[in-house]
């Protein structure tokens, strides 16, 4: 995916990782606070979640440089959980049910990594990936528009012009500075510059503190997270209640994390470990469940900020997480004065760097089905959530693939000097092509001896075996004999396992080395 030149392919250094981590930590604050309010929990719970997710995944994760924290994708699922939990157990019970759910979320994600389910992310087609990044870019953009509201109403007049000016200044610094130097992260310079400008000129604009207060909080200062076991009844009824939420959060978290991992792999020209990342995500959520955080998954926006700022190693994520903890414990007064406009400008540049601008150039050059998948996944990501969008995209892509292969199966027919009719099959024989396969044969009109040649075909599944079985029965009822030739080893093995279902001759061809192996157990029809 060709993008606006926002990411540089370069090796990270300790200095880059430290400065980048500090930048990411600053950008994490409003995101964590906002997602905490979406989930219906305290801002401190969101900040704790971002700290613990970021630290654990940076230390043991499978993708150095990727940032995890509290996310909107998981927060949306938590809303109903917290509300119903509160109704069931009273004030504070919803939060305890959330912590218990995170323990189960973590267990499911660890199991996914242990059983190597992470590899299935490779099955996600490229059009789905393009739709994913485009949809998330739009979601990130739309989320920033809320910063242009005061008490639910859009800014107007001087406040709006001030906000736009500061956002524009931030974006200009992010665009221009890398052209002259990359020794310091442009994002960090932009944030500090805009913050100092606002402080020393007394510009009246929203800050991190005013943002938190507008959401109902008092600030971001808090103590260290404390270990505790969720205070809920550990019964089958509780498991029945929390399991659906845990399964959805685990699935959404893994999908977003592994697709973000693939995106970062592409942008940095490196390779991460999906199964290791799955385990790390699970462990991080378990830690959140015991330490009072809201959990989460990988964050595409902060991950791109990190690699754009030069962060490539585990140190960048560790510094980001520890810096966030320092902000919570000691540095809240410094972070709370940062203008929201600086962070909005930074996220707008993330949108520019995330969106696959090449989409506009390829829509009329790729198959219509792929173009529709890109649009479908983009729209569903914006309207619903990532899990639904990716699942729908994969299903549509799979159906298109199955259909295209189903209609490609064909047969070349010939009769030799001995009166034996040969059907040479081209294309895979599977559930989608069975009907087309059956239409190729003329049982009544064929001679007594028929050979089906699979040199250019494959029997892919049980539907294919059953098709051959039924075809053999038809020839048997007509008093004719059917034989199979040139089966590949995997096809022969598949048919060998189904010897109770099918009885046909399998012709040995010593010159066809691919089909080595005997199947003497099969008797002629």
Q: Among candidates 420, 414, 359, 329, which has minimal Cα distance to 3?
A: 359
Tell me, what's the pLDDT at 90?
Answer: 82
Tell me, what's the pLDDT at 381?
Answer: 85
Tell me, what's the pLDDT at 319?
Answer: 96
Residue 393 lies in a domain: no
pTM exceeds cut of 0.85 = no
Its domain, for residue 493, covers 407-515
* Distance separating alpha carbons of residues 462 and 486, to the nearest angstrom: 19
Query: Which residue would you say has higher pLDDT here, 97 or 75?
Result: 97
User: Residue 505 — pLDDT band, cuts 50, 70, 90?
Assistant: low
Indicate whether 34 pLDDT > 90: no
Indicate whether 522 pLDDT > 50: no
Q: 337 with 425, same domain?
A: no
Tell me, what's the pLDDT at 87?
Answer: 87
User: Residue 516 — pLDDT band, cuts 50, 70, 90?
Assistant: very low
Tell me, what's the pLDDT at 3?
Answer: 47
* Distance separating alpha carbons of residues 174 and 86, to the nearest angstrom: 44
Tell me, what's the pLDDT at 215?
Answer: 67
Of 337, 359, 381, the residue at which a domain comes to its end is 359
User: Residue 488 — pLDDT band, cuts 50, 70, 90?
Assistant: confident
Q: 41 with 190, same domain?
A: yes
Identity of the highest mean pLDDT range in 279-283, 304-308, 487-491 = 279-283
Tell me, what's the pLDDT at 314?
Answer: 94
Tell me, what's the pLDDT at 129?
Answer: 85
Residue 458 lies in a domain: yes
Q: Among candidates 197, 192, 227, which has minimal Cα distance to 334?
A: 192
Tell me, what's the pLDDT at 514?
Answer: 37
Q: 124 with 189, same domain?
A: yes
Tell me, what's the pLDDT at 523?
Answer: 32
Which tokens is 12 given? 């990270």
Give how many domains the chain has, as a whole number: 2
* Distance separating alpha carbons of residues 522 and 525, to the nearest angstrom: 9
Indicate whether 379 pLDDT > 60: yes
Indicate whether 51 pLDDT > 90: yes
Residue 379 lies in a domain: no
Tell me, what's the pLDDT at 501?
Answer: 53
Tell me, what's the pLDDT at 442?
Answer: 92
Q: 420 with 355, same domain?
A: no
User: Residue 294 — pLDDT band, cuts 50, 70, 90?
Assistant: very high
Residue 323 lies in a domain: yes
Indicate whether 470 pLDDT > 70: yes
Of 359, 394, 420, the residue at which a domain comes to its end is 359
**Percentage with pLDDT > 70 across the chain:** 92
Section 189-213 average pLDDT: 90
Indicate whether 520 pLDDT > 60: no
Section 469-478 average pLDDT: 89
How confident is the model over 340-367, as pLDDT tens digits? 999 889 889 888 888 888 889 888 888 9
Q: 55 with 197, same domain?
A: yes
Assess contact for 248 and 382: CB atoms under 8 A.
no
Q: 139 with 31, same domain?
A: yes
Residue 24 lies in a domain: yes
Q: 443 with 338, same domain?
A: no
How confident is the model over 4-31, as pLDDT tens digits? 444 555 566 899 999 999 999 988 887 7
Mean model confidence pLDDT for the chain: 86
Neighbours of 281 (CB within 10 A): 33
Strands, E assignment, 352-494: 410-415, 421-426, 449-456, 481-485
How confident is the model over 120-175, as pLDDT tens digits? 777 788 899 889 889 888 988 888 888 898 888 899 999 999 999 999 999 999 99
Q: 283 with 181, same domain?
A: yes
Contacts of 55 (CB under 8 A, 6+ apart): 284, 317, 318, 321, 322
Tell me, what's the pLDDT at 487?
Answer: 79
Q: 411 with 343, same domain?
A: no
- Determine the distance from the C-alpha atom of residue 391 to the mean position of all C-alpha atoms in its chain, rounded to a whole number: 10
Q: 344 with 247, same domain?
A: yes
Residue 371 lies in a domain: no
Tell me, what's the pLDDT at 275?
Answer: 94
Section 505-521 average pLDDT: 45
Assess contact for 132 and 389: CB atoms under 8 A.
yes
Residue 381 lies in a domain: no
Tell me, what's the pLDDT at 77?
Answer: 83
Q: 332 with 412, same domain?
A: no
421 φψ region: left (φ > 0), alpha (ψ -120 to 50), beta (else): beta
Indicate whether 114 pLDDT > 90: yes
CATH assignment of the domain containing 449:
3.30.750.24
Tell me, what's the pLDDT at 503?
Answer: 54
User: Residue 525 — pLDDT band, cuts 50, 70, 90?
Assistant: very low
């Amino acid at each position: 995916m060709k993008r606006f030149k926002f990411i540089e392919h370069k090796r990270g250094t300790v200095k880059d990782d430290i400065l980048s981590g500090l930048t990411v930590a600053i950008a994490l604050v409003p995101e964590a606070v906002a997602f905490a309010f979406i989930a219906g929990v305290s801002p401190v719970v969101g900040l704790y979640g971002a700290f613990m997710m970021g630290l654990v995944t940076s230390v043991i994760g499978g993708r150095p440089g990727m940032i995890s924290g509290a996310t909107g994708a998981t927060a949306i699922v938590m809303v109903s959980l917290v509300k119903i939990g509160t109704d069931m157990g009273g004030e504070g019970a919803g939060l305890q049910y959330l912590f218990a759910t995170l323990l189960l979320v973590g267990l499911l994600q660890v199991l996914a990594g242990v059983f190597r389910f992470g590899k299935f992310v490779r099955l996600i087609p490229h059009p789905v990936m393009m739709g994913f990044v485009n949809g998330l870019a739009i979601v990130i953009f739309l989320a920033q528009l809320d910063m242009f509201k005061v008490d639910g109403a859009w800014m107007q007049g001087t406040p709006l012009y001030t906000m736009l000016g500061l956002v524009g200044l931030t974006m200009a610094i992010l665009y221009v500075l890398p052209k002259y130097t990359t020794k310091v992260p442009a994002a960090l310079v932009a944030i500090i510059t805009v913050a100092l400008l606002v402080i020393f000129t007394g510009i009246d604009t929203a800050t991190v503190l005013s943002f938190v207060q507008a959401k109902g909080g008092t600030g971001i200062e808090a103590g260290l997270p404390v270990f505790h076991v969720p205070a809920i009844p550990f019964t089958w009824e509780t498991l029945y209640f929390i399991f659906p939420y845990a399964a959805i959060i685990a699935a959404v978290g893994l999908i977003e994390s592994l697709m973000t991992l693939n995106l970062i792999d592409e942008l940095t020209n490196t390779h991460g470990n999906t199964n290791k990342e799955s385990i790390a995500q699970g462990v991080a959520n378990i830690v959140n469940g015991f330490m009072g955080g809201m959990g989460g998954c990988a964050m595409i926006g902060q991950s791109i900020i990190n690699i754009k700022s030069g962060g490539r190693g585990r140190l960048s994520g560790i510094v980001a997480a520890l810096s966030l903890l320092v902000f919570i414990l000691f540095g809240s007064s410094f972070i709370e004065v940062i203008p929201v406009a600086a962070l909005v400008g930074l996220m707008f540049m993330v949108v520019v760097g995330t969106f696959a601008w090449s989409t506009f150039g390829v829509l009329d050059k790729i198959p219509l089905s792929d173009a529709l998948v890109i649009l479908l996944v983009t729209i569903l990501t914006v309207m619903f959530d990532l899990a639904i969008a990716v699942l729908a995209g994969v299903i549509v892509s799979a159906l298109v693939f199955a259909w295209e292969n189903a209609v490609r199966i064909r047969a070349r027919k010939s009769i030799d000097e001995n009166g034996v009719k040969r059907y040479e099959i081209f294309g895979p024989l599977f559930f989608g092509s069975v009907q087309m396969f059956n239409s190729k044969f003329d049982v009544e009109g064929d001679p007594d001896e028929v050979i089906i040649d699979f040199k250019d075909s494959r029997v892919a599944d049980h539907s294919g075996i059953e098709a051959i079985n039924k075809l053999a029965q038809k020839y048997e009822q007509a008093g004719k004999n059917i034989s199979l030739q040139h089966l590949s080893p995997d096809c022969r093995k598949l048919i060998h396992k189904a010897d109770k279902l099918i009885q046909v001759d399998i012709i040995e061809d010593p010159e066809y080395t691919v089909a080595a192996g005997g199947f003497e157990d099969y008797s002629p029809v």
